[in-house]
Amino acid sequence: DPDNVVLCLLAADEEEEGDAALQIHFTLIQAFCCENDINILRVSNPGRLAQLLLPATGPEPPADLHCVLVTNPHASQWKDPALSQLMCFCRESRYMDQWVPVINLPER
């Protein structure tokens, strides 16, 4: 349900930038998000994103987090100050013609 999606995270590291299938996948997701007024952020380190979003799972490889949709089932998404700040960041990035801003997640 795109009405409850407030943010799309697209994660790829430098080695995956040349993966044509992943880039086509990202292009289709971005088109869907733009059509449905969903903010998009690009994240540079999927491994670090997995560490932040998933609990420690032991020796298993991290789940595929190339695309993460953040939903907010509440009627007013602006009640959360962190989410409000993130939406303002995305809007300001669009004003500067950066339609898909990039967040660099450093290693720990």
pLDDT tens-digit series, residues 50-62: 888 886 665 565 5
Say which CATH superfamily domain 2-103 falls into: Ribosomal protein L30/S12 (3.30.1330.30)
- Mean pLDDT in residue range 63-69: 81
Domain extents in the chain: 2-103
- Cβ-contact 65, 49 below 8 angstroms: yes
> Which one-letter DSSP state was computed for residue 4?
G
Q: Which carries the bigger pLDDT value, residue 80 or residue 67?
A: 67
- Can you give the three-state secondary structure of 46-94, one letter per residue? HHHHHHHHCCCCCCCCCCCCCEEEEECCCCCHHHCHHHHHHHHHHHHHH
Question: The whole model's pTM is what?
Answer: 0.77
